[in-house]
Chains A and B, each alone.
Chain A
């Protein structure tokens, strides 16, 4: 067991954990961040997406020891802020959510995209969410949802 410190959704946290534990497991089990979903467990689906130092990564293929001192944002931290609310509202208005399992990861991917490019076109959106699989929507409505989020959150990014 080690004490591992990092910043979670803006606040410093210290967890007692084996540094070889997967980051997703520490986030979900030790820190209650169940908005981080597990789909494939091998980097293919993006359900476990988080931001690490502002960059989107898959927490299922990371060890908690890798993020010592880093800044971590989970879907919980994102939804608590104005941008997260704009993303959720944009998706809702576009009817982009069906079963919902991919959505926390999609929201993180949307945040990562809009931070770099607040007015993406369809192609740029598809590239931005290319690491996130959705088995329900066929993606067209998600692309609309991202456009809607960008409009609703204009000036936030």
Chain B
């Protein structure tokens, strides 16, 4: 499967680029941040994106899927990265809807997926616990007391957690921390008794939350997939998530790099453009090399999802690691090369810096993925 976009995917990318630059420039993220917006995204924008069919992008045909594939999704994510667009696309569509598509019963799909594509339902995957992404270490429990099922424990870094209508919660039904067996996914409504949602204020202005489950009562009907058997599904969901997030990061990284190049061509000191200094040229060239390499990894990962290749997990870890390191490097260099202006809030560079650090933590930092890659390759 080719890494290059086909005609329809190119068209999709153009449409989204035009739409976002006119309806959701980076300035709209500032507004969300400055007003401490409850939602952390613009619902109006999400409805407009829904009209464009974006929530259906990954859906199977019977749910009016658009058939753009993962490369199509990647193109959209890249544009969202470039515009720093806050939207439920990642949490609701890429993560939660994937879990439903891959793990849910026909009945659950019929009930949930059409609402998602209509923009009427937002979801969130409640997975991480503690300070780092490590799904196998899940310890939030699903207790079975003679058929009475309850969830107890704390979830952290739940993306869109303060706004989502419902959560898909990763829980442990049996086994111990670190076991793949015993994990389950449960759909839990935000209004469930015993569930406390604490909004966190992360530096990118978007919404996330910590969740505290105190004997939250659930039924077997709320299970997505079989009890204790969620791990294989979860892995597929996370591969999609990791790769889609890498695509968003690629877009953001390209944008902040291009803005920096622009500054190098424009800004004068010592009577010349600062871009004539070889010390800066070489660093810019090295960034470009790293960016192109990361881009190859992301495009390869997207196309391996499209061809449902057995090495999706490996490609996902490569893409996320290289993209993490690249985005960190380029945002730091972007600030340095903008001089004092780089650390003012007047320029947007700082917004990319902050989003970069959040996205690096989303679904695993480089240490996590290098470790995972080593495990997958038997060392």
Query: Does A pair with B?
Result: no
